[in-house]
Amino acid sequence: MAKGRAAVTSRPFRLGREALLLVALIVLCTIFSLQSEFFLTERNFTTILRNSVDLAVICAAMTIIIILGGIDVSVGGVLAVSAVIIGRAYQMGMPDWVVVPMGLATGAVLGALNGVIIARTRVPPIVATLGTMYIYIAVLFLVIGGVWISGLPNTLSFLVLGEFAGLPAGIYVIGVTYLFSWLLLRRTPWGQRVVAIGCDELSARLVGIPVEKTKIQAYALIGLFAGVAAVLYVARLRNVEVNIGTNIALEAIAATILGGANIRGGVGSLIGALMGVLFIKMTQNGLVLIGVSSLWETVVIGALLIIVLVIDALGERRTR
């Protein structure tokens, strides 16, 4: 014990993951703005923000799931099914106040289904959500029938594209989502239960925490957030593509891990995850602006993830 403490105090100062990410974001911005005069403009930042909204919303819930010690690779599928149901509902001429709750409910139900499979049948989360991912994508194909749904109404577009009090609307959406998630995670008994299960599921069970129930609720929450992301997606693009949501699960996991979450559970940071999202989206945007093919963006994200994992691993070694 004393040895571990000595190792920690021997480090002169401890940079938090958030501070590290902030530095990385600033460095990234500097590089891009030196290469392209269009990068550091208000208009471009609004664009980056608009493109980040769906991923940011999903990442808030993904952080909670990873803290719980789980993972959800089916969020893309949930997003896709919610979006296609929203699209079909709009096509049938339903008004916003019917369509939006329908989309959210679809997401929450599909998420809860994941939760039930994981909690009740003890299928590991990665396998269970992999399986439901296939099923949800099948549902998408069956409903959409291989043709884009397009020309949807723009009544909700203000949620992403609009402006309130001089700031882009996306900021408020992200702000509300993250404030809600933070309060839930850090200021409620439910959030404490999530952390406890993520740290040590067996002990959590022994002290009487309803592990199954909490897990189902958490997966329902990420489903709900995927539903929110679907509403925002349709509001922003006013169409539903055939390959909607294919990469978003892996991007969300990457952003969450970049933000300091530990896949073994118990540890994670909402603000870090949000910065991870900004990092990914800024890279995608900046590479295009400086004339590098957008095909390189996955390489950059992958390389960055590897670097972060190596730094973490070396840090863990030193404190061990």
Partner 1 sequence: MKDPLTQRLWFLFGLLIAAGVAGTLLSEHFLKASTVGFLLQYVPVLGVLGLAQTLIMLSGGPGIDLSIGATMSLAGLAIAALFTAGVPLVLACVVGLAVGAALGAVNAVLICVLQVPSLMATLATFFAYSGLALALTGGSPIGGLPDWFAVLAQGRFLGIPVHMWVVFVPLAIVLHVMLAHTRVGSHIYAAGNDERAAFLAGVKVWRLRFGLYVLSGVIAGIAAIMTLSWFQAARPDAGDGMELLSVTIAVLGGTHIFGGIGRISGTVLAVLIVTTLQVAFQLANISQAWQLAAIGILLIGSVVADNAVGDRLRQRMARPRG
Q: Which residues bind partner 1 (CB under 8 A)?
A: 71, 117, 121-124, 126-128, 130-135, 137-142, 250, 253-254, 257, 263-264, 293, 295-303, 305-306, 309-310, 312-314, 316-317
Q: Compute the least distance from the CB of residue 253 to partner 1, in Å.
A: 6
Q: Compute the least distance from the CB of residue 188 to partner 1, in Å.
A: 28
Residue 182 C-alpha from the chain's centroid: 14
**Closer residue to partner 1, CB minimum distance, 64 or 80:** 80
**Closer residue to partner 1, CB minimum distance, 3 or 122:** 122
E-state strands within 209-314: none
**Closer residue to partner 1, CB minimum distance, 165 or 202:** 202
Q: Compute the least distance from the CB of residue 151 to partner 1, in Å.
A: 24
The rounded distance, in Å, linking the Cα atoms of 40 and 7 is 41
The rounded distance, in Å, linking the Cα atoms of 72 and 70 is 7
**Closer residue to partner 1, CB minimum distance, 79 or 169:** 79
168: number of Cβ within 10 Å:
20
The rounded distance, in Å, linking the Cα atoms of 236 and 79 is 14
Using the Cα atoms of residue 70, residue 73, residue 77 and residue 83 in order, give the sign of their dihedral: positive
**Closer residue to partner 1, CB minimum distance, 70 or 103:** 70
Q: Compute the least distance from the CB of residue 117 to partner 1, in Å.
A: 6
How many residues would you count in the chain? 320
The rounded distance, in Å, linking the Cα atoms of 169 and 175 is 10
Structure tokens belonging to residue 303: 């390389």
The rounded distance, in Å, linking the Cα atoms of 208 and 260 is 29
DSSP reduced 3-state for 208:
coil
The rounded distance, in Å, linking the Cα atoms of 79 and 17 is 29
**Closer residue to partner 1, CB minimum distance, 78 or 257:** 257
Q: Compute the least distance from the CB of residue 250 to partner 1, in Å.
A: 7
At residue 151, φ and ψ (nearest 5 deg) are 70, 35
**Closer residue to partner 1, CB minimum distance, 228 or 252:** 252
Q: Compute the least distance from the CB of residue 7 to partner 1, in Å.
A: 17
The rounded distance, in Å, linking the Cα atoms of 128 and 216 is 13
**Closer residue to partner 1, CB minimum distance, 179 or 309:** 309
Q: Compute the least distance from the CB of residue 37 to partner 1, in Å.
A: 25
Query: Residue 94: CA atoms inside 13 Å, Cβ hemisphere, count?
Result: 15
Q: Compute the least distance from the CB of residue 199 to partner 1, in Å.
A: 16
